Amino acid sequence: MLTTFRTNIQDKLNSLPFKTKATAMAVLLSLLPVVGVGGLAYFLSNTNLTEAETNNQKSATAALSDALARFISIRIKDATYLADLPFVNNPNIAKTLPLAAKEEFLNDYLNRYKFYDTAVIFDLQGNPIAASKGSSRENHADREYFQAVLKTGKPYISQIETSKQPSNRRFTLSRQLKILSLDS
């Protein structure tokens, strides 16, 4: 069956006039470079687009990483600033400065800065030394972030916690205090 089919095609091709054969050959020869160049162009452009997209994703990832590192660095500097306040780490000043003045300072700091919702400064036993409005005034010694700072001595930033409202996300930042000795 295949041989008869092949013979039928050969007979039909042989019966075609030379002009038709030459035209068909010219069309085939002119299409081959176009198809070849088109295929090569598609391959190269697809490769370039894939490479460009990969580079864009790498750049975006690097930019996000840098922004996050700056964000964390600023938050740690904020915690360090609050931890290094004289009424926090100097027992003589801490005793003489009234609680209302400490809390007013924290409230003013939050109002000026407008980034944090609350601020609480704890002693090394987890008891609040001063707290801004709306802050919890309970002992935090058993909290994960408090224990992490006591164990490592390094600043701690919690995972971001989300609520049912997408605009209400929060994280906890803590830093160990440097208490000056009463002997100094």
Band of residue 55 on the pLDDT scale cut at 50, 70, 90:
very high
Cα 16 from Cα 33, distance rounded (Å): 26
| Model pLDDT, residue 184 | 35
Instruction: Pinpoint the alpha helices (H) of the chain.
Output: 2-15, 18-83, 86-89, 91-96, 99-113, 144-152
What pLDDT is stored for residue 177 in this prediction? 59
pLDDT at res. 1: 64
Q: Is residue 173 within 8 Å of residue 82, measured between CB atoms?
A: no
Q: Which of 125, 153, 154 is nearest to 141 (CA)?
A: 125
- What is the SS3 string spanning 116-142? CCCCEEECCCCCEEEECCCCCCCCCCC
Where in the chain are the domains?
A: 19-66, 84-174
Q: What is the CATH number of domain 84-174?
A: 3.30.450.20
Q: What is the pLDDT of residue 180?
A: 44
- pLDDT tens digits along 56-90: 999 999 999 999 999 889 988 988 888 888 888 88
Predicted confidence (pLDDT) per residue in 119-169, tens digit: 888 888 888 888 899 888 899 889 888 888 888 888 888 877 776 666 666
Q: Which residue in 154, 160, 113, 158 sits closest to 132, CA to CA? A: 113
The more confident residue out of 145 and 98 is 98
Which phi and psi (to 5°) does residue 120 adopt?
A: -135, 135
66 to 58, 62, 71: CA distances (angstroms):
12, 6, 9
What is residue 10's predicted lDDT score, i.e. its pLDDT?
81
pLDDT band at 109 (very low <50, low <70, confident <90, very high): very high
- DSSP letter (8 states) at residue 168: -
Structure-model confidence comparison of residues 13 and 120, the more confident one: 120
